[in-house]
Amino acid sequence: MANDRSWFTCKKNDDETAEVSIYDEIGAWGVTAKDFQKDLKALGAVKNIRLSINSPGGSVFDGLAIHNMLKRHKAKVHVVVDGIAASIASVIMMAGDRRTMPANAMVMIHDPSGFVVGTSKDMRELADALDKIKMGLVTAYAERTKKDPEEIEELMAAETWLTAQEAVAEGFADEIEKPVKVAASFDLTKFRNAPAVVADQASHGQEAERHTEHEEEPMTDKSTATEQSAEEKAAAAAAAAAAAAAETANLDAIRAQAAAEERKRGADILAVCTGFGMAAKAAEFVASGKSLSDVIAALQDERAKSGKDVSNRQGAGVTDKDQAPSWDKVIDKVNARIG
C-alpha cells in the first residue's frame, strides 16, 4: 500500500516482494509506529521486504516498535541504508536479515536522551528510565553485531559514527555497494560528533537536488532566443538558490518544531506515568498517540479500578493528605501548559 508521503512509502511489487522506505524522522512528524503497522499489515503475506532507510532518528518508542514489527514479520528483510541511519533509525536497521550500505552511507549510535520538569525525584526516575531504555537498545545492537554489551555501551556513550566500511567491520552491516546520491536533508547539528562533511551534505543535499530539478532547458530556436549575459545568469542562479534555501529552512524549522513538541509530549507522559507509579506504561501511551489529558484520565481510571487513592501522588499508602501534593493541582498545571 503506497503512502501519500514521499518520505515514507510501503508498496507491494508482487505476491512475494514489497518495498518500504523511511526517508524522514521517526515519530510524529515523520514515520510513526502506528502508520508503519497499518501499512505493513496491508502488504499481506509477502516473502521478501526491502527497507530503504535515510533517517536521522527520532522517537525511541516508535523506533523500537518498528524494529520489533520487522523482527516478528515472517518475510526476509533486506535493509539498505541509502544515506544515514542515525540514532533510533540504526536500531531499525538491526531488524534486517541482510544489511547493505552504499560506500558513502553512515550509521550512528548514541545514548537515548530525554527531559522532565519536576523534582529531583522525578529527574532520578527519568535517569533510571533512560538506563532501562538503553539496555533495550544495547540488546538489539549486541544481538546483530555479536559484540559484548559493555563494548556497545561504550560506543553509544561516545556517540559513534561509522562509515560503511567501519559498519561492516564492526558487525553493524553485512555488505557494501556502490555509492548513491543522498536525497533527503536533515538538521544534524543536534548531534555533537556528526562529521562535518556528512552534516553539510545532509543539510544541503535537498537544496542542490531541487535546484537541479528546476533548471530550465536551453532554448534551441535561434530566431527567438536571446543570449543571457554572465551577470544575468549568475543573478538568476543566485535567486534560485536563495529561494530553495528559504524553502528548505522553512521546512526544517517546521520539522524541528514538530520534533520538539513530540519530545515534550513524551517527556510529559513519562513524568505523569511516573507520578502515578506506572512508568512502564509510558511507552504504550506515547505510541498510542493519546493526548496528555487523555493519558491522565486513563491513569486515573486505572488507579480508581485498583482501589488506590487518585487524589495524591503517593497513592493509597499515604493517609495524611497534607503531606502529599494534590494530583488535582498537578493536573491543573499540566492542563494549563497544554491548553
- Give catalytic residues, as residue numbers: 87, 110
> What CA–CA distance (Å, rounded) separates 175 from 226?
52
Structural contact between residues 277 and 124, judged by C-beta atoms closer than 8 angstroms: no
> What CA–CA distance (Å, rounded) separates 231 from 233?
5
DSSP sequence for 190-207: TSTT--HHHHHHHHHHHH
Phi-psi region of 2 (alpha: psi -120 to 50; beta: other; left: phi over 0): beta
DSSP sequence for 243-260: HHHHHHHHHHHHHHHHHH
**Longest Cα–Cα distance in the chain:** 94
Q: 141 is written with which cell numbers?
A: 545492537
Q: 288 is written with which cell numbers?
A: 498510542
* 3-state class (DSSP) for residue 15: coil
Q: What is the dihedral of CA 291, 297, 302, 308, to 10 degrees?
A: 140
Sequence-ordered list of residues with C-beta below 8 angstroms from that of 80, at least 6 positions apart, any chain: 50, 51, 52, 53, 100, 101, 102, 177
